[in-house]
Amino acid sequence: MTHSIILRTENVSRQFGGLAALTDVSIDIEEGKIHSIIGPNGAGKTTFFNVLSGRIPSSSGNVHFAGRSITGLTQYKVARLGIARSYQITTIFPKLKVLDNLMVAGQSGKAFNFWRSSFSFKEDVDRSMELLKMVGLEQKADLLASQLSHGEQRYLDIAIALRTAPKLLLLDEPTAGMSPVETEETVKIIRRLAEKLTVVLVEHKMEMIMKISERITVLHFGQVLAEGTPAEIQANDEVQRAYLGGGRDKEELEHPA
């Protein structure tokens, strides 16, 4: 099956003073696939996500999404075009109920109307409950978000990102701090999401990356070191030398559980 390109970066660079965080990064993201961005700390992964989502502008280069240039657009404009993201640090409202977190997120793309109809409100509730079911939290809709476990709060964060009905979802270390059981549940959630939209994720857990990804891009010192299928990345000697450097990480790359 041929997949169209939903996101393309062309020679994207980003400098912070004298530091080159990204240098001429060109990546194609195919629609409907799970594409992972990996690399050691400081490789430029989060900076790349910040550029894609409009949180910071690139210093040079171009970003195209769904057939149009989004280079230099602000974060809210990028979000309204169909790109959503989660962050390494969970961004929920802990003092609100789980359902209310999604209701608030659902209003972010709408003009406020105090006299909105009850039918519209019901639609918002139904859509929010649908997303909670997708991440396994439908039974906890009436709990305060602070009462959820760490893993469940991460799932809620994903649901909040989905509330704007994106075409592409950026997940920045979605399993950070999770137990193996929670990580496995996250894999299931991401696979369900990938049936409906394109997913790009940054992760450090090699076992998860090799299990879930259809394409992988390796960043090293802000540049693209390699790109390919999990099997191709596993077999890439340059990736093993520059990124993994042998030892346990290399073994995980070559023989993921």
CA distances from 246 to 72, 87, 115, 239 (A): 39, 29, 62, 10
Task: Identify each DSSP E strand in 173-228 by its residue range.
Answer: 198-202, 215-220, 223-228
Question: For the chain, where do the domains classified as CATH 3.40.50.300 start and end?
Answer: 1-82+166-257
Provide mean pLDDT across the span 42-54: 95
pLDDT > 70 in the chain, percent: 88
Q: What is the rounded distance in angstroms from the CA atom of residue 21 to the CA atom of residue 13? A: 7
Architecture of 1-82+166-257 per CATH? Answer: 3-Layer(aba) Sandwich (3.40)
Beta carbons of 26 and 9 less than 8 angstroms apart: yes
For residue 166 the two structure tokens come to 């994106």
When pLDDT is cut at 50, 70 and 90, the band that residue 87 belongs to is confident
Per-residue pLDDT reduced to its tens digit, 172-224: 999 988 999 999 999 999 999 999 999 999 998 888 999 999 999 999 999 99
Q: What is the rounded distance in angstroms from the CA atom of residue 183 to the CA atom of residue 148? A: 16
- Does residue 115 have a pLDDT over 50? no
Q: Is the pTM of this model over 0.85?
A: yes
Beta carbons of 169 and 140 less than 8 angstroms apart: no
- Does residue 246 have a pLDDT over 50? no
Per-residue pLDDT reduced to its tens digit, 102-114: 998 876 555 444 4
Q: Which of 74, 44, 71, 69 lies closest to 58, judged by CA?
A: 71
pLDDT at 108: 59
Provide mean pLDDT across the span 80-84: 94
pLDDT > 90 in the chain, percent: 72
pLDDT at 245: 57
- Does residue 1 have a pLDDT over 70? no
CA terminus-to-terminus distance, the chain: 28
Per-residue pLDDT reduced to its tens digit, 2-13: 579 999 999 999
- Does residue 64 have a pLDDT over 50? yes
